[in-house]
Every structure is written in C-alpha cells, then in structure tokens.
Structure 1
Amino acid sequence: MSNDLALRRRAWDAAASVVDPEIPVLTIADLGVLREVTVKDGRVEVAITPTYSGCPAMNMIGVEIELALRRAGFPDAKVHTVLSPAWTTDWMSEDGRRKLREYGIAPPQAAGSRRALFGVQQVACPQCGSDNTEVLSEFGSTSCKALWRCRSCREPFDYFKCH
C-alpha cells in the first residue's frame, strides 16, 4: 500500500469515528455526511455534506473532525463543506439505519417507498414494529426529524425525514 493510501485510510478512519452531536449513536460515516478524504503531500482534506442547508450541527462536526485528525497525527487537516450534490437519506448506511431503529428513531424510507408511489407514508414503529402509526408533527426534536405516534403500543417516536 502506498504511503498516501495508508495515510488516507488512517485519516478516513479518524474522521469516520466522529459522531453526530444530535444523534450520538450515529457516526458521520453512518449518516453519509462524510463524503471524501484526500491526502496530498501529507496534508489531509475532508469534505462533508450537511443533511440539510443550515444544519446547526455542521460547525461542531467540523471541529470534531479536526480534533479527531489531530489526535491521529494530522495537525494541519482542513475540513470543507460540499453542498452539491445535496445530501440524501439514500447515503445512510444500512448499519446507520439499524442503529437509528435500535435507538428508538424510525429510519428514513427508501426513495421507492409507498409515499413516492402514492403519496401515503407508512412508518413502522421502532418500539413494536407496527405500521399502525400516525404523524403528530412534521417537526420533531431536530429539524431532520418528525414526531410520530404508534397506535398499537401508543408510544411517540421520532422519524428521520427523507431528503
């Protein structure tokens, strides 16, 4: 493995370990926010894409990436934001979706879901698995989530909105 490739792998692993400050069970790699890590002449650059424009967590994520890279031996790393193409929930890893469900947040549905076909959204309850759910508010605990309730177990839950 070339030196730049080994450095890139080490830098990627360090950046990928950063967790989302709003959903701490997910890393930025799980979310698909971590887009690219490059190494040129020993210098690391990291590209990240926000889940939506104006996401307040992005500044903290950038700082956490720089700190993680500094701890991994990259003191002069640069982090920049890439807005195009826009982030989509399709970039979330399957592991990230599983982590959301286990944390009690319904993961986003695939682009080819029932809603895309018929305008009807069926969100499974992350507590009991029932599809007998209803939206309470399009705005949840953060801007990227909506508040839902299960009619079967009666528990409220967040749903990670599709983008």
Structure 2
Amino acid sequence: MTGTAGTAGTAETATTDRDRAWQVAAAVPDPELPMLTLADLGVLAGVEVDGGSGTVTAWLTPTYSGCPAVAEMAADVDRRLRAAGYPDVRVRLRLDPPWSTDLITAEGRRRLAEAGIAPPHPTSAVAAGSAPGPVALTLGPTRTGAVAPVTCPHCGDGDTEELSRFGSTACKALWRCRACREPFERVKEI
C-alpha cells in the first residue's frame, strides 16, 4: 500500500510540475505579435517534465519552418523557465503536425482584433467547435478567397480589400477598409 501511495504522490507531483512549467512557458509573448502569448498563437506545442532528472522540455511548432523569430522564442521560453526555478531546460522544435492558423485560440483572435490586426478565419470545424485538437493540414497554396469577408478591426465593416499579400512579417498581409479607409494587417490563413 505504501508503494502505491508513493507512486500516486510522484504522479501528482509530476503533473503539478508539468502544469506549472506549462503556465510559465505559455505566458511567453510572441516576439512579432507581442499582444499574443505563444500559447494564444498555438506555437507552444507541449511541455514535459522528467520527474527523475527534473529536465523540462518545451516543444515549439513555429508558424513556418523558416520563421526567423523561432530562436528568440526558444531563448525567451528557456529564460522564463530557468527564472521559475527549472535549472535544466531544453527547447525543441516540433514540425509535425505543422502549425496552422486554426491553432490560434479564441483569446488570441480577440487580442489580434483589439490590436488592429484582423485574425484569420478558422476552418468550419474549428468555428463550429467540433475539432478536438489540431486540424489535419494538407500543404499547398495558402488559403485565399476567404469564405467570409475580412472584417475591419477598426470599424467592424466587411467591405475590405487586400492591398499586398506581404505585410510587416511573412505571416501577415496588408489590407484596407473601404468604409473607414484605414489600413490594417491580417494574419494569413494557412
């Protein structure tokens, strides 16, 4: 009986430690979209804590494999976890399954709009709430010709137009609202 209780206690401690490490890593802001955390953006793919060694491994799935911000993301996660008392931290990349804009949380979409950046449309499965996790992604051209109009994050009007497929970062495009005439960026759907 004592062995069972000890095992349960160890499992609880590991879960608590993993949850705490997740919370620390999840709070790291994205370097290019600082209004979002890595968890809001769906880039934080997982956190593991090895109960025996105390090693924390954080998994990141960058928005695309050549993302220039991934080194900074990894350094920020490492720095925050070490500051939280984890002396042995490893940050690894997970490219499979690939990142998709469907991984952006509802809170992340809300924060993008508040910052004047139009969030991408979720797939119909994500919008309906029927997708339990990552959505299967077939690599090919990015989704263009959105199903729904792109709503202006400034005035809320749907009469918008794409000015340039390229914005301040590779994952954003430049748009303009025809109603209020304000330009805005939009996260590209992939």
After the TM superposition, which segments of 4 or more aligned residues of structure 1 sit over 6 Å from their partners?
Answer: none
Report if the CA contact (8 A) 1:10-1:72 is conserved.
no
AA matched with 1:6: T
In the aligned structure 2, how far is the partner of 1:140 from the partner of 1:33? 20
- Unaligned stretches of 5+ in structure 1? 114-118
AA matched with 1:15: A
Alignment of 1:15-34 (within 5 A): 15-34=25-44
In the aligned structure 2, how far is the partner of 1:141 from the partner of 1:161? 12
Q: Structure 2 length normalisation: TM-score?
A: 0.81
Match of 2:135 in 1: none
Structure with greater Cα Rg: 2
AA matched with 2:59: A
Alignment of 1:2-151 (within 5 A): 2-40=12-50, 41=52, 42-112=54-124, 120-121=145-146, 122-151=149-178
| Residue 120 (structure 1) shift | 3.1
In the aligned structure 1, how far is the partner of 2:34 from the partner of 2:79? 17
| Residue 150 (structure 1) shift | 0.2
Task: Deviation per CA, 1:56-76: give whole Å up to 9, x if none.
Answer: 111000000000000111111
Match of 1:156 in 2: 183
Aligned-residue RMSD, C-alpha: 1.3
> Number of residues paired by the alignment?
158
- Unaligned stretches of 5+ in structure 2? 1-8, 128-143
SS in 2 for 1:134: strand
Task: Deviation per CA, 1:30-68: give whole Å up to 9, x if none.
Answer: 000001101112211111100112011110000000000
In the aligned structure 2, how far is the partner of 1:92 from the partner of 1:120? 20
Report if the CA contact (8 A) 1:31-1:92 is conserved.
yes
Identity value in percent: 51
